[in-house]
Amino acid sequence: MNPQLAWYIARATGIVAWALLAASVIWGLLLSTRLARGRPTPAWLLDLHRFLGGAAVLFTAVHLVGLVADTYVHFGLADLFVPYASAWKPGPVALGVVSLYLLAVVEGTSLATRRLPRRVWRAVHLSSYVLFWLATFHFILAGTDASHPLATVGIDLVATAVVFLTLVRILSPRGRPRRDTGADGGAGGVRSRPSTGASRTRTPRPVAGRT
């Protein structure tokens, strides 16, 4: 077995985890700005947004396992979960540690959306922007492959897309849409209002003396 296999796994899963996180943020911005209309539908975007976030958590976990299994840098549990505990690039690694906690909080509150007030969920979910930028700088400063031309181009394109969509989100009108597409992390279906008595049809009363 290649003695550097764990290091290759840590590097590869770290890149994939960042890419999945970036895709999740971009898809979430597309959903919130409603730029993607028609096909794919907003409900489909919501399902993909959730899937990308969950996949990012999975690959992040494998990334951590690969770092612990690697024998070159010797990462311990404290290095992975305590900021500035690592002797190897303490600043960039600390960005990854903070990103890990933010990712856990965002995904945890997304799973518990129905049990949380919408304002609380929204405030926590907005930290996804901070999570993305912290993870991006962690990738740039600590990633071994960040200087590769393909990685550089990918980071530039993704960062540009996030900045553009964020500006669109900020500058777009705040009007409330007619239909709720489930952007609050619900089932993703359109919520329909309960019918009121005004929509009931009236049956004419019989007039006395008439057959």
Q: What is the chain's Cα-based Rg?
A: 24
Task: Give 147-183 as a DSSP string.
Answer: TSHHHHHHHHHHHHHHHHHHHHHHHS--PPPSS--ST
Render the burial of 11-23: b for 16+ CB within 10 Å, e for the rest. Answer: bebbbbbbbbbbb
Q: Tens digit of pLDDT for each residue in 170-209?
A: 887 664 444 444 444 333 333 334 444 444 444 555 554 4
Share the mean pLDDT of the chain. Answer: 82
Q: Are 79 and 85 in contact (CB under 8 A)?
A: yes
**CA separation for the pair 78, 74 (Å, rounded):** 11
pLDDT tens sequence across 34-60: 666 555 666 777 788 889 999 999 999
Q: How confident is the model at residue 106 (pLDDT cuts 50, 70, 90)?
A: very high
In sequence order, the 6+-apart residues with CB closer than 8 A to the CB of 161 are: 26
How far is it, in rounded angstroms, from Cα 20 to Cα 41? 20
Domain ranges of the chain: 5-192
pLDDT (tens digit per residue) in 139-154: 999 998 999 999 999 9
Say what the pLDDT of residue 102 is: 96
